[in-house]
Structure 1
């Protein structure tokens, strides 16, 4: 089956496009994997709006790690992961470090752990009987972040996006709500 990556900037229509593709490919047989952890009221409202937009018959799992286990146990026709960059943020926030003082060796170790999680997701492509749709944010086209943690996040997310794009059968770049197919 196929792996479809959908990337783009903030509020570019990535999730809506991914949901439309999932509905076309999987109908009522969709596993929606939501990776966010809503800590504040603004994020809770975003999650609420996402839930209201999705068909109620889709199965939803709210997890941000060990996604391979969730995908490989599913019989759905489509697994939609929304989103990789939020997953990366959550994995980074699990690490108890003073980010402004972290050394490159520690960053490399953290990135390896995140890359291992992404590799497991990619390995689901051969084990899962359905299509996988993965949403992620394009983080490399903006300004260089002012703070070290922002730069660490941007660099890791950029490399994970590249890893997924390399493995993907199709890649779409969302620009102002318009999907541009750039691979496949």
Structure 2
């Protein structure tokens, strides 16, 4: 069995990551384009961002299947079909959701196992994440813990990825 391709895309807030990821995935002509959404509409700004992303996907010539999965990413496995294309947006939001539940070592290990299972089943998995490590480590304990986890997860995902991109000002830079 051929392993699916893993693509990691990072960048700052509103750098064009999601649009780049959507077009990248649509170009791969997967059986279905599946959007895994980690965001939870907890405030007005997030509701607007979610709505904007949904409207963007409606404007494309390809149909998207959306799965809302803010936590427990492994629960998507039964919903994924052979040769699907997956876009998971985004790791940083998912991690914030999971951190409140604790047991991060177990959660992190489950993440990698889920990605490996997806790669056995799909044509391509595109993972989007925010770059939050350009700033010094926070003096606040919880924020510093978040920065440590996201840094560790990013490094592991990039090491597993076939390609890694960073977005700045709507322009992609391929690092791997």
- Say yes or no: TM over 0.5: yes
Task: Return the TM-score normalized by structure 1.
Answer: 0.84
CA distance in 1, matches of 2:29, 2:117: 17
Calculate the aligned-residue CA RMSD, in Å: 1.8
In structure 1, runs of 5+ residues without a counterpart are 96-109
Q: How does 1:151-166 map to 2 (within 5 A)?
A: 151-166=144-159
Between Structure 1 and Structure 2, how many residues are aligned? 169
Aligned match for 2:85, one of 53, 78, 87: 78
| Counterpart in the other structure of 1:63 | 69
In structure 2, runs of 5+ residues without a counterpart are none
| Counterpart in the other structure of 2:169 | 176
Match of 1:26, SS? coil
Displacement, 1:47?
0.5
Displacement, 1:78?
0.5
Aligned match for 1:39, one of 21, 38, 42: 42
Displacement, 1:74?
1.5
Higher helix share: 1
CA distance in 2, matches of 1:88, 1:52: 25
Point out 4+ residue stretches in structure 1 off by more than 6 angstroms: none
Matched, 1:9 2:12: yes
Question: Do the aligned residues in 2 keep the contact of 1:30 with 1:78 (CA within 8 Å)?
Answer: yes
